[in-house]
Amino acid sequence: MITLTINGKEQQLDVDPEMPLLWALRDHLNLTGTKFGCGAAQCGAFTVHIDGEAARSCSTMVGDAEGREIVTIEGLSGKVAEAVQAAWQKLDVVQCGYCQSGQIMSAITLLSANEKPTDEDINASMEGNICRCGTYVRIRDAIHEAAKALA
What string of DSSP letters covers the chain? -EEEEETTEEEEE-S-TTSBHHHIIIIIS--TTSPPSSSSSSS-TTEEEETTEEEEGGGSBHHHHTTSEEE-GGG--SHHHHHHHHHHHHTT--SS-TTHHHHHHHHHHHHHH-SS--HHHHHHHHTT---TT--HHHHHHHHHHHHHHH-
Question: Smaller CB distance to other proteins: residue 51 or 92?
Answer: 51
Question: Smaller CB distance to other proteins: residue 49 or 138?
Answer: 49
Q: State the nearest-atom distance from the C-beta of 30 to other proteins, in Å.
A: 20
Question: Smaller CB distance to other proteins: residue 59 or 95?
Answer: 59
Question: Smaller CB distance to other proteins: residue 19 or 133?
Answer: 19
Q: State the nearest-atom distance from the C-beta of 12 to other proteins, in Å.
A: 21
Q: State the nearest-atom distance from the C-beta of 100 to other proteins, in Å.
A: 15
- Name the site residues for other proteins (rule: CB under 8 A): 18-20, 39-42, 44, 53-56, 58-61, 63-64, 106, 109-110, 112-114, 121, 124-128, 130
